[in-house]
A and B are shown apart, each in its own frame.
Chain A
Amino acid sequence: MTRDPSKSFQDMILALHDFWSAQGCLILQPYDMRMGAGTFHTATTLRALGPEPWNAAFVQPCRRPTDGRYGENPNRLQHYYQYQVILKPSPPDIQELYLESLRVIGIDPLKHDIRFVEDDWESPTLGAWGLGWEVWCDGMEVTQFTYFQQMGGFDCKPVAGELTYGLERLAMYIQGVDNVYDLDFNGRGVTYGQVFLENERQMSKWNFEVADTDALFDLFNKAEAECRNALEANVPIAAYEQAVEASHIFNLLQARGVISVQERASYMGRVRDLARGSCEAHMAKEAAGWAEKFPEWSA
């Protein structure tokens, strides 16, 4: 059976995999942790640091507890997929490559209005920022396109280009459905709703109503402690995982509404310290080797 990205969610993903694989990207699998965005994947965060070329593409499931709508909103989900492409250094034809990937999944830029609209990206939690655009397709944001300038508080040398496709949105667009749960998942009639609707209902309830907040606070503190523990042992990747964990626990606490406005800044600062500390340790650990391999590079 031939693939049809315009009729099947999974075919769209496979088409993207084929395309980016043909461009020389590693096709990675999702990071096996709960995270708010594909950017948290070590293939993005940690690999954005240092001089080594890095080209990778992967799907990352994302968890945004506050976006849960109990399965009742046609667009908003507390769990959804991002497709991430990271190209380091950013190639000169990165925009053309991206537009070609849209054609591959069935978006004709002479029929649909594709626009690059200013949208700079900043993650205070990761100590990271970049300039770029949100890419609009007929007024809908379908991709976040960023040139990373800093990560973990360090200048990106060289700069990586990051493409983040919102897969459900794109698929809804391509398949012409108004409700995410009506998406055809496999091109044979299994819907996204059949796969995820109950999941959304239960997880929204848990995120907003059930999750034991004392336990969450406890988990947050434990992740923070474990991150420091790992940093002391000079295993920055392990430390970084704990930072990712703390970040997600913080998001859950937010959804439970138990963090006041004043406390919020303080929690975010704590997560940022963990993430930055991990990046810093990663840099420290790798810098000497990098400098040797890339004499024009310096930390």
Chain B
Amino acid sequence: MSDFLLELRSEEIPARMQAGARGELARLFRREMEAVGLTVSELTVWSTPRRLALIARDLPQATEAVSEEAKGPPEGAPDAAIDGFCRKSGVTRDQLELRDVKGRNTWFAVIEKPGRAVKDVLADAIPAIIRDFSWPKSMRWGAASISTESLRWVRPLSGIVALLGDEIVECEVHGVTSGAVTLGHRFHHSGEITISGASDYVGKLRAAHVIVDHEERQDMIRQLAGEAARTAGFALVEDEGLVVENAGLTEWPVPLLGRFDREFLDVPPEVIQLTARVNQKYFVCKKPSPLQGRGRSAAGAEGVGPVTDSPHPPTPSPEGEGELANAFVCTANIESSDCGAAIVDGNRKVLAARLADARFFWEQDRKTPLAEHAKKLARITFHEKLGTVADKVERVAKLARWLVEERIVQSSPSPMARGTSGAGGGVASPTESDPSTTSWSPSPSGLGEDRARLADLAEQAARLCKADLVTEMVGEFPELQGVMGGYYARAEVDENGLRRWPDEVADAIRDHYKPVGQGDDVPTAPVTVAVSLADKLDTLAGFFVIGDKPSGSKDPFALRRAELGIIRIMTANRLRAGWNAMHAEASEGHYETALAAKLERYGPILSGLEVYRYPDRPDQDEEYGRGPEQILDWSFEAERISKGISAAQVPLADFLIDRLKVQQREAGVRHDLIDAVFALGGEDDLVRLLARVHALQAFVTTEDGANLLAGYKRAANILKKEDWANQPSPLQGSGRSDEVAEGVGDVSHATLDDSPHPNPSPEGEGLLPHTGDEDPLENVDDPDMRAVYAAAARDASAREAHNGLSYTPEPAEKVLIEALDAAEPTAASAIEAEDFAAAMSALASLRMPIDAFFEEVTVNADEEIKRRARLDLLARFRAAVHNVADFSKIEG
């Protein structure tokens, strides 16, 4: 048994590729070993910027001899076939054996494969690994690259160490020969290092200032960077991505703390952190946590810190944790002769120059009001068929207003939330008394005041939400879209020096892209919700209207993410709306821009019409190619767009349902339960639908639920077998009496169901015997109830008159009828109240009766009347269950 060491040395491997490369090296090594029947028990892979290393423990000296059998042609096959088989198997004809295969004599070759020295196996494996290695990007180099067939590697491959035990595994790959010699740290060690085997590899490299284990380097960075910050009286803003990246950039990491000019702290913390992180790979520090007491910064009024979208590094929140400190931690690759003084000073200067640029952008951008920036959006194409970003903003503004006016998005009812009860309530915004902002001043009309204000705010925020896309800062740091808009909105003052936009607007601009990733916060502030929802609905509707929906792995416009965002916003805020109406409204918004985009090459539509009106200017006709045809084109295109809008509606709903299923599945909701609720049809209220699904999931996992499901399946099977088709339509209470009343098999209960209950309360209902067998007045001794009972009796006799149920039901039959009588209205009113758990428990009361019914009653009775009545009863049971969900879709 020997340990095998492989080191592939190269020029600097990009940090971001090192983890993948380690995985690739392990995968290919295992592949090569498995191919010769070697199982690798212990495998370690490491990386530094300049090397990939692998150690496989306890490899045998040789692979085991194996004997393989190959089945050949049957006895008596043509000589050519048998000879061919011999050639293929590497045996002579007299080495073949005849064996019986299912009564037929067949030739077999037994191929003895002797064990191979593992050293030889490895000598073949190393070139194969290098040749098949997959890098995200690879290159050619040097004199050999005169041919494009030359070796490709991530950067020039410069050396191979391959040792099995203490012996060199000799091999050669495109001129690079294996050996025992490697190099140490680029600057701290000169000359070659001879490795004697896996056992001294790590130690010898360490002595040469190389820590080959990437995890050890990561630990060092974590620990030493934290210490450096603490020593200076700060706390490191932890950033695992930076830890890994810096470990990938160093062989001997030395975290060093430096400081930058305090005045840069005027720049928003996200900008500082991003500048330090993205451009320089520095950690930032924060001041130690103040123990409460520090006033809330205006920026974080909801306690939501500056935005941290998922791709962003964690950001210190303005409260609770400390603010950013004017310090950074860089990670050097050397222990310098002056303890890092020159390095820190150099890095400080670079950061200062970067921050100076950032501050320049910050100051420059703020010189222009957001509304002015927004005008430039007309120059940016959103999508060639969907107009400019300015067009999009216009649509989103209208849609955001609509969402409020339709009461889909409402003022937050929670008293915990910021006051939204008109100008007097909540956090007084300095702008509310400012005449320059009357566009969103409270509407004077009493009751709608709140809503009118919310609608104005939503529209206003929407008009500004994309303005930061044209700012210098977002040009430099696209990750800060939204975040910067929020800052700029908050910083903008009018001519009186008062803030121009209230916090709601600034927050909405900042957060309207949310939720971005799975772990991202979902907006809850009403204005933000309206803008965020409108933005996503508009995007989705637009691409569906032009027929550009995601397919397979292609989703270039991230529509799946947008849809998931919509679902999460709707559910988290319990927004009540039919998605069909929202889709229709959002789609309609695209009519004008789609039309304009279609006809762009002809110029503005109206000009075309004018030309037509002034046929005495044929010169213009000629110049612009406009003419009567264009009007034909116009109406034709308009019609096509209208058709596109209608055609998009079903796919939009399907897409939403599809995403919903994916999302719910990930959240542990059974897809069959979602199907069971969808099968009811007609439901496009996300919140109600999910409430039903969740209640159903809770129910079917109970014993009652499982048994009821079993009873349901049995009933459904019988009905199916009997082809008892003409059933009451499953659900929804309304509009079914007419069509089913004429039916033969189902009249009785349908009629009863549909008759208006004199007393809809479950209690009153439960008292009434409905078997038709008793005298309903028999037990009546309460005079006040007489009229009620009499009415019920009329119903009962009417029922009898219809279906002629003239036999005495068996006890279990009677119990089931009574249970249904009780459960149906209870379930119905619970559904009405959207208390689906209550509806389910009402159904649960049917479990014993249905079980008993199947136990004791023969459905296929000899008498046709009984058979029909019992099938009817089962149909009624099924219909009752269908009030909650289509149980036939439920598995198990």
Contacts and interface: CB of A to CB of B under 8 A. Distances in A.
Interface of A: 51, 73-75, 89-92, 95, 99, 108-118, 120, 130-133, 137-140, 147, 149, 155-159, 161, 173, 178, 260-262, 294, 296-297
B187 A110 contact: yes
A297 B653 CA distance: 59
B147 A157 contact: yes
B593 to A, nearest CB: 16
Contacts of A75: 353
Contact of B11 (A108, A109, A113, A116): A116
Nearest to B380: A261
Contacts of A113: 332-334, 336, 343, 346
B336 A110 contact: yes
Given A111-B336, A115-B333, A131 B139 contact: yes
A159 B145 contact: yes
A139 B350 contact: yes
A109 B346 contact: no
B379 A89 contact: no
Most buried by A among B154, B155, B338, B381: B155
Contacts of A178: 349
Most buried by B among A116, A156, A157: A116
A139 B349 CA distance: 9
Contacts of A130: 139
A153 B279 CA distance: 30
B351 A261 contact: no
Contacts of A161: 141
Contacts of A91: 142
Nearest to B188: A110
A113 B17 CA distance: 22
30 contacts: A51-B146, A73-B356, A73-B360, A90-B141, A91-B142, A92-B156, A95-B11, A109-B334, A111-B338, A111-B343, A117-B15, A118-B15, A130-B139, A131-B139, A131-B154, A137-B346, A138-B347, A139-B350, A147-B140, A147-B156, A149-B139, A156-B145, A157-B145, A157-B148, A158-B142, A159-B139, A159-B142, A178-B349, A294-B146, A296-B147
Given A131-B155, A158-B146, A116 B49 contact: yes
A292 to B, nearest CB: 15
Contacts of A95: 11
Contacts of B195: none
B142 A89 contact: yes
B75 to A, nearest CB: 55
B280 A110 contact: no
Contacts of A260: 379
Most buried by B among A89, A115, A137, A296: A115
Given A114-B187, A131-B137, A140-B350, A296 B146 contact: yes
A138 to B, nearest CB: 3
B330 interface: yes
B342 interface: yes
Decide if the interface of chain A is mainly helix, strand, loop or mixed.
loop
Interface string B607-648: 000000000000000000000000000000000000000000
B99 interface: no
Contacts of B148: 155, 157
Nearest to B140: A159
A203 B360 CA distance: 21
B14 interface: yes
Given A158-B145, A178-B349, 13 more contacts: A75-B353, A92-B142, A95-B11, A111-B343, A117-B249, A130-B139, A147-B155, A149-B140, A157-B145, A158-B146, A159-B139, A159-B145, A296-B146
B12 A297 contact: no
B476 to A, nearest CB: 13
B145 A116 contact: no
B144 interface: yes
B67 interface: no
Contacts of B131: none
A162 to B, nearest CB: 12
Contacts of B445: none
A80 to B, nearest CB: 15
A140 B142 contact: no
A73 B281 CA distance: 24
Contacts of B336: 110-113
Contacts of A120: 137
B447 interface: no
Contacts of B345: 138
B143 interface: yes
A86 to B, nearest CB: 14
B141 A138 contact: no
A159 B141 CA distance: 5
A116 B334 contact: no
A138 B249 CA distance: 13
B158 interface: yes
Contacts of B49: 116
Contacts of A116: 11-12, 49
Contact of A297 (B146, B187, B337, B379): B146
Contacts of B147: 157, 296
B416 to A, nearest CB: 44
Interface in B172-212: 186-188
B230 interface: no
